[in-house]
């Protein structure tokens, strides 16, 4: 168990180091490098020319590296700053990148987290029922609808929902993440506004993604139903409820669990498009805004956070999978059924 855990932690640490290194490399591989982008922004904002010495000072302020130093020393300065939680300063907003991300990330985690949890719960529940009624009209209809919706990009359905419920019926807001006329806090008007503004983004994700989870759960459950260990369980006199939850449900969900944890990381990255469609001011919204404005420090900071979300999602999946399937932590084969 200790060796298994150590390997996972070392692998995660190396991956994080690789992500930080990749972010630094990308910032220097951009045409003109960060200095040219920062200079262009300052010239357009202040006019005239920028003194080279002042440009170097601003580069250090915005990106935490001094451009007149060797690349290897810039790399060390950058990694040191990242480890200290300093991602530089936004050129356009004149705010620390960490502060912008700290304000935006909770909104992304909320709307995408609720979407993913609802999608997973609805999907596996529906998939189990579909497997139980395999071959019936219910199975055919739900499988067809699930396939069609799962093949539909969530942003297309989101645009349709936005057009119908926001612009045509005026039933839901057209964008934003809260009612601007309410005071943030644990009060009913604010909470209601947050839930109302999150309705369409969550609905577009759930409707398009739940079908995929349902079809996967259906396939896993059907493949397990014919296994010998289920017949042995029935011969032992175990109840149908215990067989359904302990033997069928647990083994059918296990392969989906890793996909669920991976989705936690990738779903935050998927917020980039969703937040643009609904003008939802999360981390994805600010990333696109920074790209359009050539705000180099904010682009690199949001990219780093989105990438690390995937890494930590995978690590969490590794660390918790052994709790669900003890064979993994013991070094066994996950393909063996209980």
Average pLDDT for residues 230-249, to the nearest whole number? 74
Instruction: State residue 338's pLDDT score.
Output: 43
Question: pLDDT tens digits for 59-90?
Answer: 777 877 777 788 888 889 888 988 888 888 88
The answer, yes or no, to whether residue 147 has pLDDT greater than 70, is yes
Give the percent of the chain with pLDDT over 90. Answer: 24
Q: What does the alpha-carbon distance between residue 101 and residue 103 come to, in Å, rounded to a whole number?
A: 5
Average confidence score pLDDT of the chain: 82
Q: What does the alpha-carbon distance between residue 98 and residue 101 come to, in Å, rounded to a whole number?
A: 5
- Contacts for 150 with CB less than 8 Å, ≥ 6 apart: 208, 209, 211, 212, 215
Q: What is the pTM of this model?
A: 0.81
The answer, yes or no, to whether residue 328 has pLDDT greater than 60, is no
What are the structure tokens assigned to 256, written together? 């989906």
Helix, strand, coil share of the chain (percent; to 5): 75, 0, 25
Q: What does the alpha-carbon distance between residue 34 and residue 312 come to, in Å, rounded to a whole number?
A: 28
Helix axes 2-29, 71-83, angle to 10 degrees: 130
Average pLDDT for residues 228-249, to the nearest whole number? 75
Alpha carbons within 13 A on the beta-carbon side of 195 = 7
State which of 110-124, 239-253, 290-304 shows the largest mean pLDDT: 110-124
Is the CB of residue 114 less than 8 Å from the CB of residue 195?
Answer: no
């Amino acid at each position: 168990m200790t060796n298994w855990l150590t390997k996972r932690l070392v692998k995660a640490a190396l991956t994080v180091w690789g992500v930080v290194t990749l972010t630094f490399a990308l910032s220097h591989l951009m045409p003109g490098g960060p200095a040219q982008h920062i200079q262009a922004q300052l010239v357009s904002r202040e006019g005239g020319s920028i003194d080279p010495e002042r440009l170097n000072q601003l580069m250090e302020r915005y990106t935490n590296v001094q451009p007149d130093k060797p690349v290897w020393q810039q790399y060390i300065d950058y990694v040191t700053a990242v480890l200290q939680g300093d991602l530089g300063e936004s050129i356009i907003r004149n705010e620390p990148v960490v502060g912008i991300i700290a304000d935006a990330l909770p909104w992304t985690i909320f709307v995408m987290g609720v979407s993913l949890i609802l999608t997973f719960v609805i999907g596996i529940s529906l998939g189990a029922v579909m497997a139980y009624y395999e071959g019936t009209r219910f199975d055919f209809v739900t499988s067809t609808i699930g396939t069609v919706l799962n093949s539909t990009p969530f942003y297309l359905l989101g645009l349709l929902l936005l057009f119908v419920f926001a612009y045509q019926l005026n039933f839901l807001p057209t964008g934003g993440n809260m009612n601007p006329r309410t005071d943030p806090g644990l009060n009913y008007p604010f909470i209601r506004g947050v839930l109302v503004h999150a309705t369409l983004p969550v609905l577009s994700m759930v409707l398009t993604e739940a079908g995929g989870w349902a079809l996967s759960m259906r396939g896993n459950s059907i493949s397990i139903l014919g296994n010998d260990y289920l017949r042995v369980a029935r011969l032992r006199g175990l109840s149908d409820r215990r067989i359904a939850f302990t033997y069928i449900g647990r083994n059918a969900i296990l392969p989906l669990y890793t996909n669920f944890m991976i989705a936690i990381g990738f779903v935050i990255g998927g917020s980039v498009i969703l937040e643009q469609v609904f003008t939802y001011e999360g981390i994805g919204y600010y990333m696109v805004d920074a790209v359009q404005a050539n705000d180099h420090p904010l682009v690199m900071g949001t990219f780093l956070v989105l990438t690390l979300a995937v890494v930590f999602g995978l690590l969490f999946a590794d660390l918790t999978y052994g709790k669900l399937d003890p064979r993994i932590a013991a070094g066994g084969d996950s393909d063996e059924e209980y």
